[in-house]
Amino acid sequence: MPVITYRDALNQALREELQRDDRVFLMGEEVAVYNGAYKVSKGLLQEFGEMRVVDTPITELGFAGVGVGAAMVGLRPVIEFMTWNFALLAIDQVVNAAAKMLYMSGGQYPMPIVFRGPNGAALQLSAQHSTAWESWLAHIPGLKVVAPGTPYDAKGLLKAAIRDDNPVCFLEGEMLYNTKGEVPEEEYVIPLGKADLKREGDHATIVTWGKMALVAVQAADQLAKEGIRVDVVDLRTVRPVDTEAVYASVRKTNRCVVLEEGWEHSGVGAQVVDYVQRECFDHLDAPVLRVHQADVPMPYAKQLEKAAKPDVPKTIAAIKRVMYLD
């Protein structure tokens, strides 16, 4: 199987879906001539032309709304945010327009649109460029929220997102674009809302998604060296959540850690813990713990940034605590 980067996997998905359906177009800042701020759309302008790969002014609210309008009348926009931090300027269109249109129109106007871009922290980008937004988005009925952690998942899920007739927020990771993984040559699509067991073990469960899937896998591999075997349940989609996959794992291991990139308060992780306490109460041998970003804006200084971010040591420590090894 070819090994390619997460970036190229996304590029393939976009290319294939642009080829497959001429209602699909890509729009955003720097997506065309510049090949994308992170080069995800490299070569697409040459192949599909400027009507289908569209550079916009810096006008997030405006072009998100353009996407909504185009989706209302039958096109299938893929709207790129240079990063999700900037999508806040467009949040009215994502939440009040895209997510609610089907409902408030009594089912008349589905919204086949994808909003995508990198989410969360890279390195030393400090307060305004480092936020993980999935908990904001996952709060909203009407949206689907997808956060793939590997090239394979990125490609299969982006294709599914583009084909879905609902609005999908697709969260990538700046630190993931260069990561590599196996991606088959033949076409495949991964259904939204299905978790993937990235590591298997019977001592404890890590539930995670997005970029943290990498951290979880690294933690699991280190723990394995100490003879601790953990399940890594990669949700891949945080709305809807594949609760059955979570329950199956927790009922097997009886111990659970939820790992997320964003802040603790009102996070998706809190929702997962709620699911677990309701459905797996009698199976738990320890309180469910959470690993997350420190409750502060992201600092710039290296040492502080490291302290703020969830990472492998913090995840390992949490696993040991739910196993009462510390």
Amino acid at 238: V
Q: Which is nearer to another protein, 142 or 299 (CB)?
A: 142
Catalytic residue, chosen from 129, 139, 264, 279, is 129
> Does 227 engage in binding with another protein (CB under 8 A)?
no
3-state DSSP assignment of residue 34? coil
> Does 164 engage in binding with another protein (CB under 8 A)?
yes
> Does 317 engage in binding with another protein (CB under 8 A)?
no
> Does 71 engage in binding with another protein (CB under 8 A)?
yes
Residues 252-288 as b/e (b if ≥16 CB within 10 A, e otherwise) read ebbbbbbbbbbbeeebbbebbbebbeeebeeebeeeb
Q: Which is nearer to another protein, 146 or 280 (CB)?
A: 146
Q: How far is the CB of 270 from another protein (least distance, A)?
A: 22
Cα–Cα distance list, 86 to 32, 80, 120, 214 (Å): 19, 10, 12, 25
Which of 306, 314, 12 is closest to 155 using CA atoms? 12
How many residues bind another protein, per CB under 8 A?
46
Q: Which is nearer to another protein, 12 or 93 (CB)?
A: 93
Q: Is 129 a catalytic residue?
A: yes
Binding residue (CB under 8 A) for another protein from 26, 37, 40, 97? 97
Q: Which is nearer to another protein, 67 or 262 (CB)?
A: 67
Q: Is 60 a catalytic residue?
A: yes
Binding residue (CB under 8 A) for another protein from 72, 87, 171, 219? 72
What is the DSSP-derived secondary structure letter of residue 300?
Answer: S
List binders of another protein among 121-140 (CB under 8 A).
none
Q: Report d(CA 321, CA 249) in Å as an integer.
A: 18
Cα–Cα distance list, 302 to 83, 124, 299, 308, 312 (Å): 22, 7, 8, 10, 17
As to burial, measured by CB atoms within 10 angstroms (0-12 exposed, 13-18 middle, 19+ buried), residue 302 is: exposed
Q: How far is the CB of 92 from another protein (least distance, A)?
A: 5
Which residues form the interface with another protein (CB under 8 A)? 21, 25, 51, 56-57, 59, 61-77, 92-93, 96-97, 101-110, 112, 141-142, 144, 160, 163-166
